[in-house]
Structure 1
């Protein structure tokens, strides 16, 4: 469902550690509330039949940590989801791009040969992160689709406003640029909008949006029921997109 253009106050998460706390109706940043970092390297046993078989050595994995409340917010930030060296060696074939209907993204249809991003994500990121976004356990353990995209600057032909898509998916954006934020085209999300009952459009428009900053290798996972707004201006951010289905066949 496409909604009308919306210009709302935003809450910017600009701290590198993404620590957050609430004061009244606003979101504030505070080092004291930093989410504890946990080592999830052993959380998922190797599953070669589903997600490949990267070498399971301490030197090939890294500490992964979660920020956010999937059930309440409808999205989570996964810090250091993918090692930077894996991002760096991933060569995206940009020879056959296709611009999306909204005019704000282009899809590199030929993908990236021998990419290891998807395999690493499946092996090292706990499936519970995705299950909490409404993904059934069996589907969370399957290999997702992967696509490579780049955000484009706003133009007269670009669609504006707020959107919510088919609720049957969990999407994972993995930043391949050094930074991925609204300045590079990352959408602004309406926190908790996936839980809203049917309400008037004007009521949804009054809800504040949240700006997010990802660093290279960080991931943003969200349920497709969540409403979001395309930012004004911005563009140039390169990202990998993992696509999980809540129902129906999985790749």
Structure 2
């Protein structure tokens, strides 16, 4: 009886930890709970659970942290101050696909708020780990990593260059070619976020062969994908005559003109923006 009783104590403790992280993750989805969770010291309580022996506790703790960090820059800064990021980056290389998705979500949630917080994500070595995730077999891990890289790159040219230097662009172009629509969308968005800052960054995206793969998807029935396609092509074409001509040479017309009558307002808007960015350079184009 005493052995069974002893094991029960451990089982109860495990159940309590899992119940705790599941409850916090659920509470963190509602804005009205955030301040109460923060005042109760939730960050410090979640941190050790990232290294829990039970995988489901680890994953749910990371998900809860991501939801909290996503809510405000103040909470994202708490994640940085709590020295949680290095732990997540280490786990990206070591853990299973469910944890990798959750860890990438936390990195994205921190990086989105400001260039300074995005730099904190870079400083803890996240870029290399995220780029490795782009080579994972599981498309949902690739998608989570692509989201995070895009959120880092979108702030400014310097951060975008770091994302490029980590070797992400060729792998993002490969993600465009995957069958999953959600992955295609986020890859096009990330390439757009990289290309928008300067002609040099746009040229890096072009050199990886992105234009041809983006152009092929102009008539894809998925409206959200088309929005991102036109946005990415616009961010490339806007910089110079040469880049605009490369977009035109990918034979996006007359298919692009048809999208001006698309049922989705954002597709129409982004398509019109692309045409504007092409024709503004010179009468010949």
RCO greater where, 1 or 2, for CA within 8 Å and sep 6 or more? 1
TM over 0.5: no
Larger radius of gyration: 2
- TM-score of the two chains, using structure 2 as the length reference: 0.20
Higher helix share: 2
| TM-score, reference length from structure 1 | 0.22
